[in-house]
């Protein structure tokens, strides 16, 4: 990850950011239903774990797909302390299963939560009308500008069902313009601690 100048843990307040951007402004829009989530950048599984924990409260059934080209190593998984940071020791085995589950295979992680991890590049995504919600959690524009492009957002737009929602921590003007160009309606929302604004885009 060093070549991108950013590591997962350098992010200031990763847990608060995940909760604010992806849960509060994304998942919480859904209540008592099934939600198909696509995550752009499965990474350490933090967003997946936070989603599993919140889904119970919101009475959601989650069909979660995490796309990741560069899976983290088992020794890196061992060092993660999200379960204790989240006071979620009861979900430790679920989190371990998220990481040990086979790539490309839909796995029942817990009652009401299935996970399919797909090892692929974001520009290989070709799903159509399949997801209710996208967590767009790529590394920042300054490190990987090619991922914040019309080409990628077109794929995201196509992957969503009508009225599907994409949330991201970014709020850069060029990102918003790329989203609008492919057909999204966008809104700026207050950002997580340390970031002024974030974006939510809807496929109207
Ligand atoms: C900000 S991190 C995601 C963090 C993750 N959501 C979590 O909860 O830990 C971005 C991820 O995108 C992955 N990535 C970078 N470029 C990629 C590409 N072109 N295709 C697929 N994955 C990529 C990185 O390996 C990294 O795991």
Instruction: Tell me whether residue 7 is exposed, middle or buried, using C-beta atoms within 10 angstroms of its C-beta: 0 to 12, 13 to 18, 19 or more.
Output: exposed
Please state the pTM of the whole predicted model: 0.96
Assign domain 2-203 to its CATH superfamily: Vaccinia Virus protein VP39 (3.40.50.150)
Q: Where are the alpha helices (DSSP H) in 59-115?
A: 74-79, 82-85, 92-100
Give yes or no for residue 138 CB within 6 A of ligand 1.
yes
Instruction: Write down the pLDDT at residue 5.
Output: 53
Q: Give the mutation target among 49, 70, 124, 144 for probing the ligand 1 site: most ligand atoms within 8 A of CB.
A: 70
CB-CB contact of 64 with 94 (8 Å): no
Segments making up each domain of the chain, as ranges: 2-203
Instruction: Write down the pLDDT at residue 194.
Output: 86
| Side-chain half-sphere CA neighbours of 81 within 13 A | 3
Distance CA(16)–CA(169), nearest Å, equals 12
pLDDT tens track for 115-156:
999 999 999 999 999 999 999 999 999 999 999 999 999 999
Task: Collect all residues with Cβ–Cβ distance below 8 Å to 10 and sequence separation of at least 6.
Answer: none
């Amino acid at each position: 990850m060093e070549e991108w100048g950013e590591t997962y843990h350098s992010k200031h307040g990763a847990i608060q950011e995940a909760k604010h951007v992806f849960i509060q402004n994304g998942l919480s829009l859904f209540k008592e239903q099934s939600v198909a989530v696509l995550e752009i950048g499965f990474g350490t599984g933090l967003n997946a774990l936070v989603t599993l924990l919140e889904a119970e409260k919101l009475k959601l059934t989650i069909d979660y797909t995490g796309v990741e080209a560069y899976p983290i190593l088992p020794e890196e998984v061992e060092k993660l302390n999200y379960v204790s940071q989240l006071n979620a020791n009861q979900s430790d085995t679920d989190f371990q299963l998220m990481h040990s589950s086979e790539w490309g295979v839909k796995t029942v992680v817990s009652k009401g939560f299935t996970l399919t991890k797909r090892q692929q590049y974001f520009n290989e995504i070709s799903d159509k009308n399949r997801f209710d919600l996208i967590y767009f959690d790529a590394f920042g524009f300054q490190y990987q500008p090619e991922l914040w492009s019309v080409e990628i957002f077109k794929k995201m737009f196509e992957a969503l069902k009508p009225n599907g929602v994409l949330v991201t921590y970014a709020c850069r003007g060029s990102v918003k313009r790329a989203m609008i160009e492919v057909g999204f309606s966008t809104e700026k929302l207050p950002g997580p601690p340390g970031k002024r604004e974030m974006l939510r885009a809807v496929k109207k």
